[in-house]
Amino acid sequence: MRYWKITTGLLLLIVVLAATTSVFVGGLSEEPQTNEPVLPISEAPSSEVSSSTEPESLQLIENHKDSGLQGNGNSISAQTLKLADIPEGEFKTGLIKLSEELQVGVLEKLSENRQLLSDINSLRVDPGGAIYYVCSLGVGSIPQVEVMESPDESSPEATGMEEAGIAVSIASPPILHSRPGATKVLVLDFNGHVVSGTAWNVDDEASWDCRPYDTDGNELTFSDSEQDDIIEIWERVAEDYAPFDVDVTTEEPFTWNQYKGRVLITPNVDKDGKHCPHYGAGGVAYLDCFGEGDYAYYSPAWVLDYDESSARASLVAEAASHEFGHNLSLYHDGTSSEEYYGGHEDDEPISWGPIMGTGYHQDVSQWCKGNYYGANNLENDLSIISGKLSYRVDDYGDTNASAASLSTLPSGDVNQTGIIEQTDDPDVFYFMTLEGSLNIAASTYRAGSGTWGGNLDILLELYDSGGALIATNNPLSEVNASVSVSVPAGLYYLHVKPVGVGNPMASMPTGYTSYGSLGQYWITGTVSADADGDGIPNGWEILYFGGFTNAVATVDSDGDGADNLTEYISGYSPIDSNSVFEVTSFEAPPSGNSPFILTWNPVEGRLYSASYDNDLIIPPGFEGIPGAIDLPHTQNSYTDTVERVGTEHFYHVDVRLDQ
């Protein structure tokens, strides 16, 4: 089967290249005599194929920049391409205009990265010899929008109020960050931008005054609906890049450098009616420029706002991730017959498409490495992206021994989030619960409209303290998972595992492998908040004593006069003798019988009540003071203005949980 695939791939590329006037035989080229630039022949890399754990697939190439084996995994030719080898079209037209020196550089790059030949219809070369993509992104003929005059500021359209809700100025889009503080940044620019002094301007307009994202004809404000679009687009793109150490944001940074990219989401004509670089396309972007010293010169990546589509949020987000992928050095995912693979649309189990193809209408779109039937591009997206952005540090351990405590609220409600950063890397959590029914669910990102928008598919497994699997769930037609089982009291381990579904390598492909199953998840459910029944919740015992049952409620562990249960209720540390609830001051009037002022140090989540007694002997004892019952934690004192009879006065302050 593998040799059949190799032969088919070789024949396919022979046909493609033969059409360019060069005749390829046995991996070498017999060239006609020309005066075109030709580079020396180098030793042909081996076409030997090694074993792979991928079903029905070839050994995949992890870095297209380090190998001449591109597209189908074979050595096509060891000889550098010539101008005559390039098919007629816009790319070749631009190449012919270059100096001989620049032509040599471009042909050398194509020779080293022959997968680019599969994308030749989308490639362009600028006057400086830099390669960029003009991506149709499967939209076909895109309506060309007309320039609209900005509404008069006194008109109803410019008042800042829309039927759907309150609008905001385009200067103030929703401020969103996926990873605040990260040194690598992807800015999604929705509010327009002046583009000048860049590579885009060299052979085109001197500048473009680009328009904001707009769906209602008012370019002075973002309506409530447009703000919803912006949030969803940001969520979707942030999900695609969630495994990596990059901040996807809508906020302009104070300073720019080679590690900060801009995706400009704008109509295809500017405010002056000039065609933008993405006119007639879904998006355009330079190839392999992120992290280079001149990255700003090759920015931004341009994305159409798709304002006439009801699925615009989904389309814009897919295009934004795709175009920034080109900046990171990714090529198109296609097949032998199409430059863009749109995915397989079977409703069962789950429809799928690659981000660097056109999986716009599929349930799930993911990064890929050619792991679908008929793929023509075997580059390892994740390896290339992580080489530019780096993976996030793994947030949780992947074995029972390194498991993290499952985050729960005092009520026992599970409140856990996480990210699967790398292929087949699970996250493991432990918890204790009492005997009874256990219900836990793990959910992936799901967009508010259009396609699902997430990348992760979850397998959920529940193990007991002895390591025995007692429950598992991975629905075939759903990416979320849940377990529901009756259990005895004890310690349990929950495994969140990324998986695939179906067989994308079959001739009738379905589903996807686990390769691109990455991203965010949320765990919900209910477990016993107090597994040992001592009145102290599990999380508090773990925080201070390292285990669910290590704290004894009636013991004063730090010797400050308050036992562990009292320390929990009052909100103080049970292991610090200087941390204890007490009245910090008591002010009595110098003369007379009022006012008396009580002061204490409050803790969030607690309520405080003051009571009074005129002696400590005669009943009824302390009685609550009206107006001093269940005072909030924001109040740290109480002033008693009641005229008290006698010479002795006693006050008492109680604290309880606010629940």
Computed over every residue of the chain, the mean pLDDT equals 83
Segment 502-507 mean pLDDT = 94
What pLDDT score does 47 carry? 30
Question: What are the structure tokens assigned to 53, written together?
Answer: 């754990």
What pLDDT score does 532 carry? 80
Using one digit for the tens of pLDDT, what is the confidence trace for 433-456? 888 889 999 999 999 888 899 999
Integer Cα distance of 197 and 460 in angstroms: 52
Q: How far is CA 123 from CA 201, 267, 521, 601, in A?
A: 18, 21, 37, 67
What pLDDT score does 594 carry? 77
Integer Cα distance of 168 and 250 in angstroms: 15
DSSP one-letter code for 375: B
Neighbours of 198 (CB within 10 A): 18
Question: Three-state secondary structure along 257-277?
Answer: CCCEEEEEEECCECCCCCECC
What pLDDT score does 85 carry? 92
Integer Cα distance of 480 and 446 in angstroms: 10
User: What pTM does this model have?
Assistant: 0.75
Integer Cα distance of 385 and 369 in angstroms: 12
543 pLDDT above the threshold of 90: no
What pLDDT score does 175 carry? 96
What pLDDT score does 319 carry? 96
Neighbours of 411 (CB within 10 A): 10
Q: How far is CA 304 from CA 47, 128, 250, 277, 600, in A?
A: 41, 25, 17, 10, 60
For the ranges 238-247, 408-417, 509-518, the lowest mean pLDDT is seen at 408-417
What pLDDT score does 11 carry? 27
Segment 356-369 mean pLDDT = 93
What pLDDT score does 434 carry? 85
Question: What are the structure tokens assigned to 420, written together?
Answer: 């699967």
Question: What are the structure tokens assigned to 190, written together?
Answer: 């929705």
Question: What are the structure tokens assigned to 256, written together?
Answer: 């720019």
Using one digit for the tens of pLDDT, what is the confidence trace for 128-162? 999 999 998 755 433 333 333 333 333 323 323 33
Using one digit for the tens of pLDDT, what is the confidence trace for 168-181? 999 999 999 999 99
Integer Cα distance of 133 and 331 in angstroms: 9
Using one digit for the tens of pLDDT, what is the confidence trace for 176-202? 999 999 999 999 999 999 999 999 999
Question: What are the structure tokens assigned to 304, written together?
Answer: 């159409």
Q: Is the peptide bond prior to 151 cis by the omega test (within 30 degrees of 0)?
A: no
Could you write out the DSSP letters of every residue in 505-567?
TSSS--SB-STT--EEEEEEEE--SSTT-SSS-HHHHHHHHSSTT---TT--TTSSS--HHHH
Q: Is the peptide bond prior to 127 cis by the omega test (within 30 degrees of 0)?
A: no
State percent of the chain over pLDDT 90. Answer: 68
Q: Which has the higher per-residue pLDDT, 105 or 1?
A: 105
Could you write out the DSSP letters of every residue in 208-240?
EEPPPP-SSS-SSEE-HHHHHHHHHHHHHHHHH
12 pLDDT above the threshold of 60: no
541 pLDDT above the threshold of 70: yes
Q: How far is CA 48 from CA 6, 21, 59, 65, in A?
A: 10, 28, 9, 19
Q: Which of 265, 310, 230, 270 is nearest to 145 (CA)?
A: 270
Segment 502-511 mean pLDDT = 94
Segment 601-624 mean pLDDT = 90
What does the angle CA 304 – CA 131 – CA 35 come to, to the nearest 5 degrees?
Answer: 145
- Name residue, tokens 């400590």: 616
Greatest C-alpha distance within the chain: 119
Position 346 confidence tier, pLDDT thresholds 50, 70, 90: low
Integer Cα distance of 232 and 174 in angstroms: 11
544 pLDDT above the threshold of 60: yes
Using one digit for the tens of pLDDT, what is the confidence trace for 212-265? 999 999 999 999 999 999 999 999 999 999 999 999 999 999 999 999 999 999
Position 203 confidence tier, pLDDT thresholds 50, 70, 90: confident
Neighbours of 363 (CB within 10 A): 20
DSSP one-letter code for 124: E
Using one digit for the tens of pLDDT, what is the confidence trace for 51-103? 333 333 333 333 333 333 233 333 334 478 999 999 999 999 999 999 999 99
What pLDDT score does 153 carry? 35
Question: What are the structure tokens assigned to 611, written together?
Answer: 């009571």
Q: Which long-range contacts (CB under 8 A, 24 or more apart) does 97-105 make?
A: 97/127, 98/125, 98/127, 98/129, 100/37, 102/128, 102/129, 103/36, 103/37, 103/129, 104/37, 104/39, 105/129
